[in-house]
Every structure is written in C-alpha cells, then in structure tokens.
C-alpha cells in the first residue's frame, strides 16, 4: 500500500504530483546542511533540495523545487525502488 511521506502538507504533495504527471525535462539536486537559523545557533541538519524542470502538454516549461530531510529522501528513494521493480515486470 502507498503511504505518503510524513510531514508533507497537501500543497507540497500536489506540487510534486503535478510535476510528476508532466514530462520531466531535467532534474537537479543538491545536498545541503542547515547550520543555523534566526532562532537556533547550531542546527547541523542535512537536507536534500530537488529541482524538477517539467513541460506541460503544450511544451511550456516550468520548475518545481522542494526540500526533504534525509529520512524523507530515503523514504522517497524506497518508493522509487519499488516503482522500478514493478516496472521491470511489465
């Protein structure tokens, strides 16, 4: 059964689903480290930033981006591995 990643609000999922329903033109990612913020001097929190470039059916290109914690990224990676395994059977 499919379970969404924790801590993602519906708007974030809608953006991701919309991007995935379009034609993927390019994907870029980077690993970052949040080291501090206005309210916390020492975060030391790694994250993954994903930038998707997609085209709609008319060819209009737009970019979608989102950030994930490492556990969220690992969960997403697991889902994509499951998808790839199913795709190999068809």
- The three-state DSSP-derived secondary structure of 40-85 is CCCCCEEEEEEEEEEECCCCCEEEEEEEEEHHHHHHHHHHHHHHHH
d(CA 20, CA 88): 19
**Which pLDDT score, from 0 to 100, does residue 58 have?**
82
Contact (CB, 8 A) for 49 and 72: no
What pairs with residue 62 in β-bridges? 54
Q: Note the pLDDT tens digit of each residue in 17-61.
A: 665 677 889 999 999 888 776 666 667 788 899 999 988 878 899
Of the two residues 83 and 18, the one the predictor is more confident about is 83
Architecture of domain 23-89: Roll (3.10)
Q: Using a pLDDT cut of 90, give the percent of the chain over it.
A: 27
**Greater model confidence, 2 or 70:** 70
pLDDT for the residue numbered 43: 76
The predicted model scores a pTM of 0.62
Cα three-residue angle 59-21-32, rounded to 5 degrees? 95
């Amino acid at each position: 059964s499919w379970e969404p990643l924790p801590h993602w609000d519906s708007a974030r999922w809608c953006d991701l689903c919309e991007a995935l329903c379009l034609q993927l033109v390019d994907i870029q990612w980077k690993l970052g480290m949040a080291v501090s913020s206005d309210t916390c001097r020492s975060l030391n929190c790694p994250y993954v930033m994903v930038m998707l470039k997609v085209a709609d059916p008319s060819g209009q290109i737009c970019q979608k981006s989102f950030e994930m914690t490492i556990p969220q990224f690992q969960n997403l990676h697991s889902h994509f591995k499951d998808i790839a395994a199913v795709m190999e059977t068809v």
